[in-house]
Structure 1
């Protein structure tokens, strides 16, 4: 038997989670020689993704929000993982193959037919580092790509403002914006000074697109600075995730949306007209750009399952630069 350490949701937090209290490591055992489940497979997890949406699931079932199903206390955190197949009872997955999908963040997995159906063979024609398929070539990259083109509709010469531009999605949007000839050449730390004043200084003529990952004060500032017919891509509101609903920041200038004829649209990468519609184009283009060196993946890496609680909490604290992931 082999020790099988897992990242476990131990307790519902009231604010920011604390590593070792709300997020912990627990160890079970795994038999590498055991037969796989019927029509399923067993495997070794190589990389796992940390994503801000996990905070939505760390709530009491009575406080479910935004359509995310609360995680039962004591369960292993599920998220995007890259797995090397060990044993298989499914023709889609051969031993030694590398696959990617949604599964538990732990060292080894034993997946049923239903769980295995969420996995796909990882196609890597450019022979890139596997971890990129949880970042620029994974869900964050596809979210950035599809939302920018489907909702942002960028035009050369326009100006874009991206909140959390150093994050998993924001850093992809920024590089795409530069490729599209958008003005995106300055930045500021939202913790330093007045957000609206900083934005007006950087974009004195206003902005055309706001790619919103954080909500709150940055959203309010963006609405003020958007030009007529501007577009807001509502991807997330990370600044409010760990704040109780009654204490979240209230946007005060939504009346400007009418006068400026703004488009403000939310998204889910899982919608057919989003991820599915842009998947092939995204994989081909971004994969080629990474291979040729004209696109730079930025990663915030945690090494070792024993450090996973700290890695996840640091993401939720906003301390990551680039895509947060775990190397097992």
Structure 2
């Protein structure tokens, strides 16, 4: 019988195992236009924390004692839909479970690009697309720019580092600890700063003595303040996420925010789905970079549906390098 994780209570601060329960799902008959999918890979993403709060946002909150969802790649095991057959691999949003019955129109058949299916949850999916559109569109980053990317060892950050290098930019990435900083440099970053070793504004000043043109924000808090401090005139900030505040709920204090005026800084918040009509160009460019070896992936894989909350909480403890995935 299929099983799915349910949100049993809304977390206060950092979630705990008590907020979740793995429950069996009633068997769902297949209707016309539907497919049954056996999930193989589940995506774990920081934005899911916001969905655990009962607040209006760009994506509806999880409901209490109801199955949770998120990105997933699975294999069609039964189909009553034209164009999809048993054995096809699809990308869909009925994650946090091992099996799903969904409308075929809610699934995307994976194109044959010669990559592993889980790549469509990473560099060829929401992760890579977020980095691509955030960097090149929201931040208008271009060749020659000095780019600062926070959480550069994470899923979106590591993709952004490699895209920026493929486009001829100078890249500085932040990460926690020497090993993750080494990983960021291995991606091609010109410098990596260890934010756990001291004040980030001091480290960034040393790594970018001439300042920065672009900031790709995954963290908020002191990283965003450091970007204010080092921004050059007409700098552009793409605000992707602020994981520093997801669990605290406390507003950050910014010492250098007044430089927004003097440096004419442009800040742009964005969401991946803003750019869905342009996925074709993203797949074209990312496919070429992957084929040429300019963009590579590194996944942190947690085995078993039972460990889904553990994998999710690991995002906030920094246990992942690159994309966090659950293999069902």
Instruction: Give the TM-score normalised by the residue count of structure 2.
Output: 0.89
CA distance in 2, matches of 1:275, 1:231: 22
**Aligned residue in 1 for 2:163:** 176
SS of 1:319's partner is: coil
Deviations 1:221-279 (A, max 9, x none): 101101001110111111100012xx2212243321111111111111111xx3422x1
| Runs of 5+ unmatched residues, structure 1 | none
CA drift of 1:46 comes to: 1.0
CA distance in 2, matches of 1:226, 1:177: 17
**Aligned residue in 2 for 1:57:** 51
Deviations 1:149-172 (A, max 9, x none): 112222333211000111111101
SS of 1:90's partner is: coil
1:241 has 2:246 as partner: yes
Q: Specify whether residues 110 and 275 from structure 1 end up closer, same or farther in structure 2 by C-alpha distance, changes over 3 A only.
A: closer
**Aligned residue in 2 for 1:98:** 89
The Cα RMSD (Å) is 1.7
CA drift of 1:197 comes to: 0.4
Given candidates 10, 15, 19, the residue that maps to 1:12 is 10
CA drift of 1:29 comes to: 6.0
Deviates more, 1:310-319 or 1:159-168: 310-319
- Does structure 1 retain, via aligned residues, the 8 Å contact 2:43–2:95? no
CA distance in 1, matches of 2:56, 2:259: 27
1:125-204 alignment to 2 at 5 Å?
A: 125=113, 127-184=114-171, 185-204=190-209
Given candidates 240, 255, 258, the residue that maps to 1:255 is 258
CA distance in 1, matches of 2:203, 2:95: 41
1:282 has 2:285 as partner: no
Where relative contact order (Cα < 8 A, 6+ residues apart) is larger, the structure is 1
CA drift of 1:177 comes to: 1.1
Instruction: Give the TM-score normalised by the residue count of structure 1.
Output: 0.89
CA distance in 1, matches of 2:310, 2:280: 34
Q: Specify whether residues 225 and 65 from structure 1 end up closer, same or farther in structure 2 by C-alpha distance, changes over 3 A only.
A: farther
1:205 has 2:196 as partner: no
Alignment: residue pair count: 310
Q: Specify whether residues 65 and 22 from structure 1 end up closer, same or farther in structure 2 by C-alpha distance, changes over 3 A only.
A: same
1:216 has 2:204 as partner: no
Given candidates 81, 98, 102, the residue that maps to 1:107 is 98
CA drift of 1:35 comes to: 4.9
**Aligned residue in 2 for 1:269:** 272
CA distance in 2, matches of 1:67, 1:153: 23
**Aligned residue in 1 for 2:105:** 117
